[in-house]
Amino acid sequence: MLRAADIKKNFGDLKVLDGISLEISRGEVVALIGPSGSGKSTFLRCMNHLETVDSGEIWLEKDCMCRMTDGRVRYSSEAELRRINMRMGMVFQNFNLFPHMTVMQNLIEAPMRVKRESRAAAMERAKEMLASVGLADRGGQYPYQLSGGQAQRVAIARALCMQPEIMCFDEPTSALDPELTHEVLAVMRDLAEKNMTMVVVTHEMGFARDVADRVVFMSDGVIVEQGTPEQVFSSSNPRTMKFLQMD
């Protein structure tokens, strides 16, 4: 469904992504793990067009984000990119809720402005999504009134309100203490059970082991190995073993 082919990206002289190819099927939950600086977050950000790649192709089914022509990467038009972005949800480490809007306004802003939905329709779905993350009674509050775990759950609900086909998570629990981490992971587990396609950059090995269908281990801008959680967590690859022992 989502296909990235031979993605390369440099920050100056630093090769952050050195030829990453990854294909994600509908309904699959993929966990991207690896040491800090391995490029997994950058890769996810490229998928969401928050970074541009230096070379490689990204396709969401038949919609092209970027492709190679004559040896150079070419991005699609702004409108096309927005259409692709709308099909993908993204959850950030720092939540990035809009602080000047209530929870409800955060949730209905994009459906109303981008999808041109009526306020009533947008609010109805927003309420549903808030309930599904266990925050049905928080619609009228501002982000500063929420705990980190609640804020992150609102951010997940906000992404879901656009009815994305894929949900991307960029270290969604890294800013949270263990207790709050738990409530966010519970919501994500829930999503996985509902067959949402998910790409999760995470340091939560427990989550990767229990929830992911596939674990992808990255290091130094390349995919070292991938497979089912069982395969990767019992890997005999020295690089993978070193990382998992350190964790």
CA dihedral 7, 12, 14, 20 (to 10 degrees): 0
Contacts of 220 (CB under 8 A, 6+ apart): 18, 38, 39
What is the rounded CA–CA span in Å between residue 194 and residue 158?
17
Q: Rg of the chain over CA atoms, in angstroms? A: 18
CA distances from 244 to 38, 186, 209 (A): 14, 23, 12
Neighbours of 64 (CB within 10 A): 16
Nearer to other proteins, 97 or 104 (CB): 97
Identify the residue among 12, 36, 70, 99 touching other proteins (CB under 8 A).
99
Position 116 contacts other proteins (CB under 8 A):
no
Identify the residue among 5, 64, 110, 205 touching other proteins (CB under 8 A).
110
Identify the residue among 54, 142, 225, 239 touching other proteins (CB under 8 A).
142
Identify the residue among 13, 72, 77, 100 touching other proteins (CB under 8 A).
100
CB of 233 to other proteins, least distance (A): 31
Position 113 contacts other proteins (CB under 8 A):
yes
Q: Which of residues 40-69 bind other proteins (CB under 8 A)?
A: 48-50
Neighbours of 203 (CB within 10 A): 15
Nearer to other proteins, 184 or 224 (CB): 184
What is the rounded CA–CA span in Å between residue 170 and residue 64?
22
Position 174 contacts other proteins (CB under 8 A):
no
Position 144 contacts other proteins (CB under 8 A):
yes
Position 138 contacts other proteins (CB under 8 A):
no
What is the rounded CA–CA span in Å between residue 166 and residue 197?
5
CB of 229 to other proteins, least distance (A): 27
Which is nearest to 196 in space by CA: 147, 142, 153, 156? 156
Stretch that binds other proteins, among 28-36, 85-93, 119-127, 179-187 (CB under 8 A): 85-93
Q: Which of residues 186-245 bind other proteins (CB under 8 A)?
A: none
Any idea what DSSP says for residue 200? E
Position 122 contacts other proteins (CB under 8 A):
no
Residues that bind other proteins (CB under 8 A): 48-50, 82-83, 85-86, 88-90, 92, 94, 96-100, 109-110, 113-115, 142-144, 158-159, 162
